[in-house]
């Protein structure tokens, strides 16, 4: 998970405003802070961005990531999402007003940005990864993913409230090695969590009960920065086995 936010001493803060997760330095899941904090190697290698949904905290770094690479990229940056997500991006961000419509622009090597639309449920392949998209329960069209290479697999919810199909897909996956699950808000904000389609620690506990025979760690992501310490405290108090808070900027070898 790339750092998105700095503290008053100029260091990466655990409080995250934006989400980007990088797999094997090659594929970005979401692009909230992709341009702001990826390494030079990642900027050189990443040409595939898979979106969970089009909310700003998950896409804010995408226009600038493409801008940074505009003059030099040999391959286009491929943005993977459902048709609804891609339509939102094209209409509301890459609309010549907020930012250029990169999908219509070329550099000396060809196109610089391509949309790769897929329907949830149909497996897609991105670089060396096989990806299964599962619709989750958020305010806008959103997916969770199960992502596998030839030997390892992990699941990631993106943003979601209570959901069913995602947990079923986790249970159907023969060997899952980790799951990255959202928990945005503290329990006292359960009403706001309900209208904004997020989880709180108590809701998280009920959701995790839908996983049968879990033998892999769960890492919590998408904690709203202003409530981070409260959410972390509440999750720890639940004493859920093998549930951890994902650390910013740490490389996880699952
Ligand atoms: Zn969202």
In a domain, 232, yes or no: yes
2 and 77 fall within a common domain = yes
133 C-alpha to center of ligand 1: Å?
16
Predicted pLDDT at 116: 98
CATH number at residue 161: 3.60.15.10
72 and 153 fall within a common domain = no
Residue 227, burial from CB neighbour count under 10 angstroms (0-12, 13-18, 19+): middle
In a domain, 150, yes or no: yes
99 C-alpha to center of ligand 1: Å?
21
With a CB cutoff of 8 Å and minimum separation 6, the contacts of 238 are: 201, 202, 204, 205
- Number of domains into which the chain is organized: 2
20 and 98 fall within a common domain = yes
Which H or E run contains 50? strand 48-50
135 and 236 fall within a common domain = yes
Residue whose tokens read 């801008």: 67
In a domain, 251, yes or no: no
179 and 97 fall within a common domain = no
64 and 162 fall within a common domain = no
113 and 164 fall within a common domain = no
Predicted pLDDT at 139: 96
Give every strand in the sheet of 48-50, ordered side by side: 21-23, 27-29, 48-50, 77-81, 113-117
In a domain, 149, yes or no: yes
User: Which residues lie at CB < 5 A from ion ligand 1?
Assistant: 55, 159
92 C-alpha to center of ligand 1: Å?
16
In a domain, 180, yes or no: yes
111 and 215 fall within a common domain = no
In a domain, 22, yes or no: yes
159 C-alpha to center of ligand 1: Å?
5
DSSP per position, 154-210: EEE--S-SS-SHHHHHHHHSS---EEEEE--S-GGGHHHHHHHT---HHHHHHHHTT
Q: Tell me which of 117, 140, 156 is where a domain ends.
A: 117
Predicted pLDDT at 59: 98
In a domain, 70, yes or no: yes
Task: Give the separation between CA 220 and CA 128, rounded to whole angstroms.
Answer: 25
SS3 assignment, position 15? coil
112 and 137 fall within a common domain = no
Q: Tell me which of 63, 87, 117 is where a domain ends.
A: 117
Choose among 215, 129, 198, 158: nearest CA to 19.
158
109 and 140 fall within a common domain = no
72 and 136 fall within a common domain = no
State the Cα angle at 205 between 226 and 20, rounded to 5°.
Answer: 45
126 and 234 fall within a common domain = yes
Domain with 29, as residue range(s), is 1-117
In a domain, 168, yes or no: yes
Choose among 96, 26, 89: nearest CA to 61.
89
Spatial contact of 49 and 62, defined as CB atoms under 8 Å apart: yes
pLDDT digits (tens), the chain, 254 positions: 999 999 999 999 999 999 999 999 999 999 999 999 999 999 999 999 999 999 999 999 999 999 999 999 999 999 999 999 999 999 999 999 999 999 999 999 999 999 999 998 889 999 999 999 999 999 999 999 999 999 999 999 999 999 999 999 999 999 999 999 999 999 999 999 999 999 999 999 999 999 999 999 999 999 999 999 999 999 999 999 999 999 998 999 98
Q: Tell me which of 98, 117, 136 is where a domain ends.
A: 117
72 C-alpha to center of ligand 1: Å?
32
53 C-alpha to center of ligand 1: Å?
7
């Amino acid at each position: 998970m790339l750092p998105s936010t700095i503290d008053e001493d100029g260091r990466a803060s655990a409080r995250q405003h934006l989400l980007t997760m990088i797999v094997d330095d090659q594929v970005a899941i979401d692009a909230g802070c992709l341009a702001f904090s990826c390494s030079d190697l990642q900027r050189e290698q990443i040409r595939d961005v898979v979106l969970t949904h089009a909310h700003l905290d998950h896409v804010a770094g995408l226009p600038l990531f493409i801008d940074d690479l505009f003059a030099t990229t040999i391959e286009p940056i491929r943005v993977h999402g459902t048709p609804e997500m891609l339509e939102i991006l094209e209409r509301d961000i890459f609309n010549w007003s907020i930012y250029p419509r990169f999908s219509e622009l070329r550099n000396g090597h060809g196109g610089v940005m391509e949309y790769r639309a897929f329907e949830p449920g149909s497996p897609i392949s991105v670089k060396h990864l096989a990806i299964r998209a599962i619709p989750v329960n958020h305010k806008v069209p959103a997916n969770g993913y199960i992502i596998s290479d030839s030997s390892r697999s992990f699941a990631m919810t993106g943003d979601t409230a209570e959901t069913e199909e995602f947990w079923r897909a986790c249970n159907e996956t023969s060997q899952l090695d980790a799951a990255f699950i959202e928990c945005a808000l503290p329990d006292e904000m359960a009403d706001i969590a309900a209208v904004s389609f997020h989880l709180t620690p108590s809701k998280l506990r009920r959701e995790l009960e839908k996983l049968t025979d879990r033998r892999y760690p769960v890492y919590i992501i998408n904690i709203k920065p202003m409530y981070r310490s409260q959410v972390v405290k509440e999750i720890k108090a639940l004493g859920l086995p093998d549930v951890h808070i994902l650390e910013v900027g740490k490389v996880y070898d699952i």
